[in-house]
């Protein structure tokens, strides 16, 4: 091989090589991050293991050059402040916050440690960041929500059961993302010829009485917007929908996993991978204030075929071909 061919080969190899994070060049350095979630430690989605796996793919491996200090609130909002303070005391370099509630708890105890938001909802309206493009503080990450997502969800529900004209909408009206979504849904409802009945919950203890009110209203379908008051009530609400023969749609894949009919949501694996990228950039010196909040690149439709059968509902082919997953 002559000198020219050798140079071309080297250039070709360099163009396809995957650059290693700069920390990999720092022999023996161990990075320590925190992970805070409202969910129970037994739930796969809430487990830091998913984040650990995503970080491993880009060079951060627990037990070698990474320590993850994990804290689970086991669905207790009241536990978050103390757990957030505990992570700060552990001198972590950044904290991955599962959702808005966790990010708020961490922000309230530190304005310097970077926070990576995993499942954010309306972070600007919730006061977490100044804007999506210029967060401006110590918080960045991803958001799974945009109003048109909920409008599309509503259309899927109507497509699953065209005769569903009275829809019960269940959510937490104190949430900005819920209010934004309701505005979007309300605009599309008249064109679909449906009536919406709102059932708001701000505390988990209100769920049983709320469900009784839903049952009394005799709706044709249920639209569920998951939020903090519902963290340990999802299975209960899904069972209620099934018992009352209500086709339903939720805003996370957890809804169909617990027996809901449909869910329209961002891709969990893609979201975690993007958050791992945020963590990598911050550990390499980037400031959260300079890293724009990222929206989902795509949304996915999940269908629970077992629930459809229990509801004596035949899912139209038009929905099946759009589904990312059909759970049997």
List pLDDT tens digits, range 21-53.
444 445 568 999 999 998 776 654 456 888 999
- Alpha carbons 9 and 32: distance in angstroms, whole number: 39
Is residue 193 located within the same domain as residue 115? no
- Lowest-pLDDT range of 8-22, 103-117, 118-132, 310-324: 8-22
**Is position 11 within any domain?**
no
Instruction: Give pLDDT, residue 262.
Output: 96
Is residue 279 located within the same domain as residue 220? no
- Residue-wise pLDDT for 262-316, tens only, equals 999 888 889 999 999 999 999 999 999 999 999 888 899 999 999 999 999 999 9
Is residue 202 located within the same domain as residue 99? no
Is residue 61 located within the same domain as residue 131? yes
- Whether the pLDDT of residue 99 is over 70: the answer is yes
Is residue 152 located within the same domain as residue 253? yes
Q: Which two tokens stand for residue 185?
A: 């849904």
- Alpha carbons 61 and 31: distance in angstroms, whole number: 10
- Lowest-pLDDT range of 8-17, 148-157, 252-261: 8-17
Count structural domains, the chain: 2
Q: What is the CATH number of the domain that holds 260?
A: 3.40.50.2300
DSSP H helices, the chain, are: 3-16, 48-56, 80-89, 100-107, 147-160, 176-192, 207-217, 234-243, 253-257, 268-283, 305-310, 317-320
Is residue 196 located within the same domain as residue 316? yes
Is residue 250 located within the same domain as residue 129? no
Domain that holds residue 108: 23-144+268-290
Is residue 151 located within the same domain as residue 229? yes
- Residue-wise pLDDT for 168-200, tens only, equals 999 887 776 677 777 777 877 787 778 889 898
- Alpha carbons 164 and 251: distance in angstroms, whole number: 19
Is residue 237 located within the same domain as residue 262? yes
Is residue 308 located within the same domain as residue 190? yes
Is residue 207 located within the same domain as residue 322? yes
- Alpha carbons 304 and 325: distance in angstroms, whole number: 8
**Is position 18 within any domain?**
no
Mean pLDDT of the chain: 85
**Is position 12 within any domain?**
no
Place of tokens 């919730």: 126
- Lowest-pLDDT range of 7-16, 94-103, 265-274: 7-16
**Is position 78 within any domain?**
yes
């Amino acid at each position: 091989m002559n000198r020219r061919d050798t140079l071309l080969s080297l250039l070709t190899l360099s163009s396809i090589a995957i650059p290693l994070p700069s920390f990999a060049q720092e022999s023996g350095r161990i990075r320590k991050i925190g992970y805070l979630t409202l969910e129970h430690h037994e739930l796969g989605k809430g487990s830091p293991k998913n984040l650990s796996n995503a970080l491993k793919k880009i060079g951060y491996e627990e037990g070698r050059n990474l320590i993850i200090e994990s804290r689970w609130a086991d669905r207790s909002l009241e536990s978050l402040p103390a757990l957030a303070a505990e992570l700060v005391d552990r001198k972590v370099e950044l904290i991955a916050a599962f959702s808005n509630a966790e990010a708020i708890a961490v922000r309230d105890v530190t304005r310097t440690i970077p926070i990576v938001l995993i499942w954010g909802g309306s972070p600007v309206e919730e006061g977490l960041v100044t804007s999506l493009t210029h967060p401006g503080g110590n918080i960045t990450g991803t958001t799974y929500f945009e109003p048109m997502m909920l409008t599309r969800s509503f259309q899927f529900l109507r497509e699953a059961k065209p005769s569903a004209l009275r829809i019960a909408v269940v959510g937490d009206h104190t949430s900005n993302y819920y209010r934004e979504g309701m505005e979007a849904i309300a605009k599309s409802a008249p064109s679909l010829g449906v009536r919406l009945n709102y059932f708001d919950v701000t505390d988990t203890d209100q769920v049983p009485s709320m469900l009784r009110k839903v049952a009394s209203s005799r709706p044709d379908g249920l639209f569920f917007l998951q939020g903090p008051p519902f963290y340990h009530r999802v299975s209960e609400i899904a069972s209620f929908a099934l018992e009352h023969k209500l086709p339903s749609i939720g805003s996370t894949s957890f809804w169909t996993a617990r027996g809901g009919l449909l869910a329209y949501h961002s891709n969990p694996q893609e979201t975690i991978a993007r958050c791992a990228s945020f963590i990598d950039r911050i550990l390499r010196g980037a400031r959260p204030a300079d890293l724009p909040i990222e929206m989902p690149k795509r949304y996915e439709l999940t269908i629970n075929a077992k629930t459809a059968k229990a509801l004596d509902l035949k899912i139209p082919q038009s929905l099946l071909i759009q589904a990312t997953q059909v759970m049997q």
